[in-house]
């Protein structure tokens, strides 16, 4: 079956990336700036626990299980390094210091690319553009860190997708990245 992903080319100038985005998305990012949202890269286990708590609450609300903190912390200890880190977590706060959104990234330092994993949003974020501001801040961080490609993670391009999948596709397409198909194969064994 075919799925896909949108990938942003971060070798392009920031102005070009901005111009390639959907106008409505640009407005949301400007709103995040006006609301004085700020983004912090997780630096320690306390920051990671904030992210985990947000992720756990978000996943439970969505009807999914969440990993135990001990597993997330072990992943952090193994993959998060000061140099050539393979795992980073970013947190978006409102001007009042309330955590609104979080996003984990798996990074391939050798390839200069990264992919989103485990996005979470606080119930208190409501319709605020916390996720948009967070991703835009990550793009700026990634460019300054010398990363070259941002994989916005999976989408379903098929006409038979669900309404939720269609919304995810539309949202990720708004960032202006190039669509790439990703193919999955399943092997079925017959035992007679």
At residue 7, the pLDDT reads 95
Contact predicate 133/32, CB 8 Å: yes
Q: What is the mean pLDDT of each run of 10 residues along the chain (192 residues)?
A: 88 97 96 96 94 91 87 89 87 96 94 91 91 96 96 81 86 93 72 66
Q: Is the pTM of this model over 0.85?
A: yes
Strands 99-108 and 113-121: antiparallel
Name 191's Cβ contacts closer than 8 Å, sequence gap at least 6.
none
How many distinct helices (H) and strands (E) make up the chain?
Answer: 6, 7
Q: Output the six-digit token pair for 49.
A: 């626990």
Q: Output the six-digit token pair for 97.
A: 């210091």
Contact predicate 90/32, CB 8 Å: no
Strands 113-121 and 149-155: parallel
């Amino acid at each position: 079956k075919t799925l896909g992903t949108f990938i942003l080319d971060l070798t392009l100038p920031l102005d070009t990336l901005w111009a390639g985005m959907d106008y409505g998305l640009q407005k949301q990012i400007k709103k995040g700036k006006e609301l004085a949202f700020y983004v912090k890269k997780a630096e320690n286990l306390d920051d990671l626990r904030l992210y985990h708590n947000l992720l756990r609450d978000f996943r439970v609300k969505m009807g999914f299980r969440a990993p135990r903190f001990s597993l997330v912390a072990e992943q952090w200890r193994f993959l998060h390094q000061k140099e050539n880190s393979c795992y980073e977590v970013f947190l978006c706060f409102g001007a009042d210091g309330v955590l609104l959104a979080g996003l984990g990234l798996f990074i391939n330092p050798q390839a200069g690319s990264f992919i989103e994993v485990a996005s979470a949003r606080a119930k208190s974020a409501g319709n605020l553009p916390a996720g948009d501001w967070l991703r835009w801040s990550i793009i700026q961080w990634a460019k300054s860190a010398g990363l070259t490609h941002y994989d916005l993670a999976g989408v379903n391009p098929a006409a038979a997708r669900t309404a939720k999948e269609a919304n995810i596709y539309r949202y990720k397409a708004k960032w202006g990245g190039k669509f790439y198909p990703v193919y999955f194969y399943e092997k079925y064994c017959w035992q007679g």
